[in-house]
Amino acid sequence: MSPGAQRTSPEDTRRIVAHARQHMECQDCSAAPGEPCDRPGSGRSIHKSRYIAAAIEVKRQARAARQTPEQAAERAAILARLPKIPASEFAAITTERGGLRATREWLISHGIPYPPPAGWRQAVEQEDGNTTERTTTS
């Protein structure tokens, strides 16, 4: 367990597993939402990767529920002002496991503040066919 991680209560674990089964496809066994995982491992009802993805989503939902309408509006305004970046530029810095090697310099050169706001990638990524101009800061 990582130093910043907290143990999950049995109730939270059940909620995360239920969310994973109902809403998420398993990347390990390709189980569709609503289907159980195929041989998830000893003591598990779903694969670990599916559980982790669901835990992250449940945590995001809980954080969003605690936001005031003003905070949500401010965050939406910040994300709306971010420049669009072609998906091909993200492909160039994507790791083999799907993470990003976006350095502080890369973010700033593409007009994204550092540290980037939550949800920045979804807000700035565009399809390669889209020719929206973006502004860069030096």
**pLDDT tens track for 37-87:** 998 888 888 999 999 999 988 988 888 888 898 988 998 899 999 999 888
78 within 8 A of 86, measured Cβ to Cβ? no
Is residue 133 over pLDDT 70?
Answer: no
Q: Above 80 in pLDDT, residue 101? A: yes
Are the C-beta atoms of 46 and 20 separated by less than 8 Å? yes
Of 112, 114, 116, the C-alpha closest to 85 is 112
Q: What is the pLDDT of residue 128?
A: 55
pLDDT band at 1 (very low <50, low <70, confident <90, very high): low
